[in-house]
Every structure is written in C-alpha cells, then in structure tokens.
Amino acid sequence: MYKLDDTNDKQTPSATEAMDSSMDFLFKNFIDPVEEDLSEDQMYILAHIGIAFKIIAEKAQAYEDMTEGNWGDIHKN
C-alpha cells in the first residue's frame, strides 16, 4: 500500500493506491477511535461514503489506465 509519508519509492500513487491509503488513514485516525460512539445512522452514512469513494477511485483508475495505454483485455473485443 502507498504510505502517506516520505518512505515511498514511487512519487505519484495510482488512484486506487491514493484512495486506499487515504481511507486507511481516515479510519485509523478519525473513525476507529470514536466508532463505539457513532450512531447506527452515522455508521450507515460512513459506509456509503466509503462505497462512493471506492467507486470514484475505480473510475479514476480506469481513466488513468486508459490514458496510459493500459487497456488490458478491454480493447480486444
């Protein structure tokens, strides 16, 4: 996983690496410490925000792959 510090060899993370690292940081530092105090509605909203972020990252990754020529099996049809 890409780390949000200076220990990375790679200067620019992919969209999915950036999202995974960001979500991990947010969970460890802001959500986990107060998770037991969150209401069911707050947990539900957080889950949907996480899903939305994952969808955004997947679309951004697809765009990155397309612009970099990393089409995989998509263009073979």
| pTM: predicted TM-score of the whole model, two decimal places | 0.73
Q: What is the DSSP string of 16-34?
A: HHHHHHHHHHHIIIIIGGG
Q: What is the widest separation between alpha-carbon atoms in the chain?
A: 50
pLDDT of 75 reads: 56
pLDDT of 69 reads: 86
The model's pLDDT over 47-68, given as tens digits with 9 standing for 90+, comes to 999 999 999 999 999 999 999 8
Radius of gyration of the chain (CA): 16
Q: Rounded to an integer, what distance in angstroms lies between the CA atom of residue 77 and that of residue 57?
A: 25
State the CB neighbour count (10 A cutoff) for residue 19: 21
